[in-house]
Structure formats: C-alpha cells, structure tokens
C-alpha cells in the first residue's frame, strides 16, 4: 500500500499491511496471517469451507478454496514435524526424571495406550463384511509424571485424497506418494489391528527415542499388552513388560459379561423374560458398583497398602457371593459345572495387582474429536490435524497456538538468549490472558505493532517458523 498526493505527482513507497514469512520457494511471499489462521483452524472442528462460509456470511471477501487448501497442506506438514520433535523432547525429559526418582533403568517407563476410530467398529455389524472405519489414531501417553503427556502417535488412513482408493487397480497397491495424499493403509487391511499399531508405536519409541516400555495400561480387550510382550520375546526389550487393566473399562466389561450370561438369566426369579432381563441388568450394575465400593473402602481404610487390601478383599468376595447367591453346598456335591467356586473377575489379587487407569489417552480422544469431528472426513491432512491436537494437549491451547505460530517447539527464546519476564499485555489483546508471566520475544514476528504491547519492549527477531 502507498500514498499518493492529490495536489502533486508525489507517490510514497509501498508498504505491506501484513508481515510475510520468508521461504526459499519462488513466487509471492506468503502472509504470516494465513499461516496463523490454519494453526487455529486445525485446533477446532472448523475446516476451510466452514471458515469461508463464516467470512461470506459477514460480507467479507473470503480466500479461495484452493489457496486455503495449499496453505493447510504446508502448515500441517510443519505442525507434524514440530509436534514430533516436541514429543521426542518430552521423552528425553522422562529419561532425566527417572534417575531422580530412583529408577534403575532411566530408559524404561510405563505407558497407557488406546485407539480411536472415525467410525465405531461395531457400527457395521450385520451390514458389511468390512470394518466401517477408515481413520484410526493410536496414542501412547507416559505414566511417569502427573501430566501423562502424549509421547507417540500412530495414524492410519485408508482414504486417498486423489481418489485412488476408488480405482480397482490402485486400491490393492496404492501408488500415491506421502506428499500427494494422506493414505498410508490399503483398503483391504484390517484397521482395527491394535496389536500392530501398538507394536509399531513401541518400536518407534525404542528406535527413535531409546525409550523401553516396561508397563502397559489398556482396555481389557486390547492386544497392546501382547505387543509389548512380543518385543520382549524378540529381544528388543530387556525388561519383561507388565500389562495393567484400566479400572473403568474393566468394570464395564464385567457388567457386559453378566448381562450376556444366559445361565444367570434362567435363574433370575421373575415370571417373564422382559422382567428377567431388566433384573439381570440391574444386578450387573449393582455387582460392579459393589466391587468398586469394596475397593474404595479398602483403599481408604488401609491408605493404599496393596498387601492389606488384597488380603481383606479376598474375604469380601465370599461375603458378596453369600449376599447374592446363597449357599453353594449343593453345587459342590451334585453339579458337574458349578463346583461352588467363585468367578473372581474383579476382586482377585491377580486383578488388583493390575489396577490403574488410562484416563489420559481417553481424554485425548475427546481432544481429537475437536480437530477431527465425526461429520467431517479429512483425507489429505488427517495426520497433521492429529499432531496439532496432540501439541495442544501437551502444551495447553494458548501456548500451543503461540508456539506453532512462532514455529518453535517448547520454550521460546530470543536471539540473544534473554527472556522477557514482564507481564505482556499483548497476550490479553489476543485473548490469552493477562496474568501470566511469559516469554513474549517472538510476538514481534506474529503481531504487527506488538512493540507497543509490552512495557519492557519486545525483541524484533526475524521469523524462523511457519
């Protein structure tokens, strides 16, 4: 933009109304605002078309779909690289924390794992012989610190953005390069193969970051525990891994097994089948809640002492059986099926040894739904949106957006190594709070006129990021 005098032929020099991002590619230099827009879009359920619709609804000229998609492709590729480096840095921090805690092997850690699909695998039962999901994210979080940070992501995508998956010749042997589309799994492959995804993630942790998994927390029906054991049997892991069970999913699985038990349905004291089914479901909920209450009371009574808890709960099992089923003397004497024993799924010492939870990866699945809503299928930039969600989960939404816009991962430092320890009022201007001591050395690259925001001044260093 320039100024022209109406009284004389004077014309000023042209000045950009926006900051530019320096790139080595030929052509026009992209605006940093366009890159920052994509950073924000990829941490919301909104896509490029949704953004255009909002702008057009306010009678604001909107960018073209093609330019938005090209910018999205560039930004998400950089976000994936930044988040991968950020997760590797967190793995190195875990190796530094373990010796302080007295761990013999600083490279061995406990993790929790879980997979998420864009469509539930059971939704196609009776409708199609194939699994209905086309996207899956297998996330691995550490169980060393209280933050339970995401340290590894495995993303699988069956859909080619070039529609190669719709052609018979290309569906069996996908020929697109990773830079052209986001598909990395053939259509005929089983997408619910959690054993393979878990083994791949643990192998990458070992090869790339030197982290060995010695404890895995999963759902009761997950095969991630077998994946860790397979690495140990192959000689890749030095320590035999321990498989822990998530308490919430364990209780849910026990309740389902009780509801499906036909023998229990036959002995329920009701007249009609509907009444029997209702009473059996109530019994399933009550039995699970009873076991959970026994554990909670034992934990409070013995202050988490596992040996005392297991000893006490071994007697509580007999009390529960007497409460629900009565005396088993006749079963021991006459039955060939029931010998009066106890189907001890929840309160046995072996199960109590495995009590832990995987709530971090479960909560991360909710964060993924923010960037990957169910009603939208992202083919080209599926993996980039996953890494954007993980970066937001590990760093917090505010710090994540600022860090990704600046193109740096972790702590942002100025060019001369100093840090602004003042309270930057510029963060309040962009809606990220005003009461937080932060490093604002990179805001000069991100916000025009940011020097006026901070009382101590900002360092004006050229943008090195997106």
Mean pLDDT by 10 residues, the chain (466 residues): 84 84 82 89 88 89 91 90 94 91 88 90 76 90 92 91 60 64 84 92 92 91 89 90 89 88 83 87 85 84 87 78 60 44 68 77 82 79 87 87 70 37 34 36 38 35 38
Residue 262 and residue 249: Cα distance in Å, rounded?
A: 22
H/E element holding 152?
strand 150-157
Q: Decide if 295 contacts 310 (C-beta within 8 A).
A: no
Q: What is the DSSP string of 171-223?
A: HHS----TTT----S-TTS-TT-HHHHHHHHHHHHHHHH--EEEEEEE-TT-S
H helix and E strand count, the chain = 17, 6
> Would you state the pLDDT for residue 408?
47
> Would you state the pLDDT for residue 243?
92
In angstroms, the Cα distances linking 113 to 152, 154, 194, 228, 243 are: 10, 11, 10, 11, 11
**In this structure, what token pair is assigned to residue 432?**
């990220």
Residue 257 and residue 244: Cα distance in Å, rounded?
A: 20
Angle at 312 between CA 308 and CA 318, to 5 degrees: 160
**In this structure, what token pair is assigned to residue 219?**
């759902």
Q: Decide if 252 contacts 278 (C-beta within 8 A).
A: no
> Would you state the pLDDT for residue 330?
47
**Taking the alpha carbons of 367, 371, 376, 378 in that order, is the dihedral positive or negative?**
negative
**175: CB partners within 8 A, 6+ apart:** 164
Q: Decide if 222 contacts 194 (C-beta within 8 A).
A: yes
């Amino acid at each position: 933009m320039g100024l022209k005098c109406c009284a004389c032929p004077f014309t000023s020099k042209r000045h950009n109304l926006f900051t530019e991002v320096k790139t080595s590619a030929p052509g026009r230099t992209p605006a940093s605002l366009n890159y920052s827009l994509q950073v924000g879009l990829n941490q919301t359920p909104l896509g490029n078309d949704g953004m255009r619709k909002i702008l057009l609804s306010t009678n604001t000229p909107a960018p073209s779909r093609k330019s938005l998609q090209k910018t999205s492709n560039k930004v998400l590729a950089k976000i994936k690289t930044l988040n991968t480096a950020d997760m590797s840095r967190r793995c190195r921090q875990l190796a530094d924390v373990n010796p302080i805690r007295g761990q013999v092997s600083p490279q061995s850690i406990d993790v929790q794992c879980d997979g998420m699909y864009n469509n539930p695998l059971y939704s196609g039962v009776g409708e199609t012989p194939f699994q209905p999901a086309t996207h899956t994210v297998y996330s691995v979080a550490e169980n060393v610190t209280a933050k339970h940070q995401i340290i590894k992501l495995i993303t699988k995508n069956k859909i080619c953005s070039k529609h190669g998956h719709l052609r018979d010749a290309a569906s069996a042997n996908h020929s697109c390069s990773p830079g052209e589309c986001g598909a990395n799994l053939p259509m005929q492959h089983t997408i619910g193969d959690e054993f393979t995804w878990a083994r791949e993630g643990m192998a990458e942790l070992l090869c790339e970051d030197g982290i060995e998994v010695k404890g895995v927390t999963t759902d009761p029906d997950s095969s991630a525990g077998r994946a860790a054991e397979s690495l140990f049997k192959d000689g890749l892991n030095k320590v035999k891994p321990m498989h822990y069970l998530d308490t919430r999913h364990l209780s849910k699985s026990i309740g389902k097994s009780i509801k499906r038990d036909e023998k229990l349905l036959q002995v329920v004291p009701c007249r009609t089948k509907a009444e029997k089914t209702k009473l059996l479901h109530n019994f399933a909920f009550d039995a699970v809640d009873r076991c959970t209450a026994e554990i909670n009371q034992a934990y409070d009574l013995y202050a988490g002492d596992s040996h005392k808890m297991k000893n006490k709960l071994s007697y509580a099992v007999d009390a529960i059986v007497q409460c629900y089923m009565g005396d088993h003397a006749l079963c021991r004497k006459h039955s060939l099926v029931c010998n009066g024993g106890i189907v001890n799924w929840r309160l046995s010492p072996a199960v109590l040894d495995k009590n832990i939870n995987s709530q971090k990866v479960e909560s991360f699945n909710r964060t993924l739904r923010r960037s990957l809503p169910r009603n939208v299928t992202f083919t080209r930039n599926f993996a980039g949106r996953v890494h954007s969600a993980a970066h937001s989960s590990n760093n917090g939404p505010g710090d994540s957006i600022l860090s990704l816009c600046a193109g740096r991962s972790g702590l942002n430092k100025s060019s001369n190594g100093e840090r602004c320890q003042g309270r930057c009022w510029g963060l309040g201007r962009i809606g990220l709070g005003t009461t937080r001591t932060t490093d604002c050395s990179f805001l000069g690259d991100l916000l025009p006129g940011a020097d006026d925001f901070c009382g101590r001044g900002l360092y004006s260093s050229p943008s090195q990021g997106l």
